[in-house]
Amino acid sequence: MPEQRYGSESPLSATWRPATFERAVLVGLTPPGAAEEALDELAALAVAAGAEPVGRVVQAKATPDPVTYVGKGKVTEVHDLVHALGAEAVILDDELSPGQLRNLEERLKVKVLDRTALILDIFALHARSGEGKAQVELAQLNYLLPRLRGWGEAMSRLGGGIGTRGPGETKLEVDRQHIRRRITKLR
């Protein structure tokens, strides 16, 4: 069963062990007129991370969409392909902004990884020494920190009491503090 990034599970779990999944759809952009073989390297990386690439979607576009990386029509195409093939993840052949990752996960309803996260997962799978594992964890935490976002009600920790004004600290704030402490310890 793949690691989920939804529900009450902490998003920090992705840093403690690499995400593993079986079936993934690969998505990439190519400049208009370029060959679609650009995803061959991404497919090899996906296999190295333990995934089985089951589909590919390529959009001929010079620049990524700032909201979802690919256009609205391609998002719909990827969604339909993911659910038709029973894929558990989508892997994109570029580094996505935190907003793009969040928007794609919300629309596709599966785990979304960009190229950087995939490469970090491969390093985590193959790290053997204590120092190597610590370096990979540090890299994963630095990558994850700006991408932490609340996932609905699961992220709130109501803890306000008498004399307090707010609802208490959110799980998101607690996770950020935890990551910062862990980064400091690893350095």
Classify the C-alpha dihedral 52-56-61-65 as positive or negative: negative
pLDDT (tens digit per residue) in 13-61: 444 344 556 899 999 998 877 766 779 999 999 999 999 999 999 999 9
Is residue 171 within 8 A of residue 179, CB to CB? The reply is no
Q: Amino acid identity of 11?
A: P
- Give the Cα separation of 52 and 66 in Å (integer): 28
What domains sit in the chain, N to C, each tagged with a CATH number? Answer: 13-123 (3.40.50.11060), 129-186 (no CATH)
Average the pLDDT over each of 26-30, 46-50, 98-102, 150-154 and give the range with the smallest value: 150-154
- Give the Cα separation of 173 and 180 in Å (integer): 11
Average the pLDDT over each of 11-15, 21-25, 147-151, 177-181 and give the range with the smallest value: 11-15
| Predicted pLDDT at 142 | 86
Mean pLDDT of the chain: 80
Quickly state the pLDDT bin for 141 (edges 50, 70, 90).
confident
The tokens describing 8, both together, are 């009450």
Classify the C-alpha dihedral 39-93-152-23 as positive or negative: positive
Closest to 117 in 3D by CA, of 6, 35, 1, 5: 5
- Rounded to an integer, the average pLDDT of 102-110 is 95
Considering the entire predicted model, what is its pTM? Answer: 0.74
Number of H helices, E strands in the chain: 7, 4
- Rounded to an integer, the average pLDDT of 172-178 is 80
- Give the Cα separation of 47 and 121 in Å (integer): 12
| Predicted pLDDT at 54 | 97
Angle between helices 39-48 and 115-126 (to 10 degrees): 30
- Give the Cα separation of 36 and 39 in Å (integer): 7
Residue 96 has pLDDT above 70, yes or no: yes
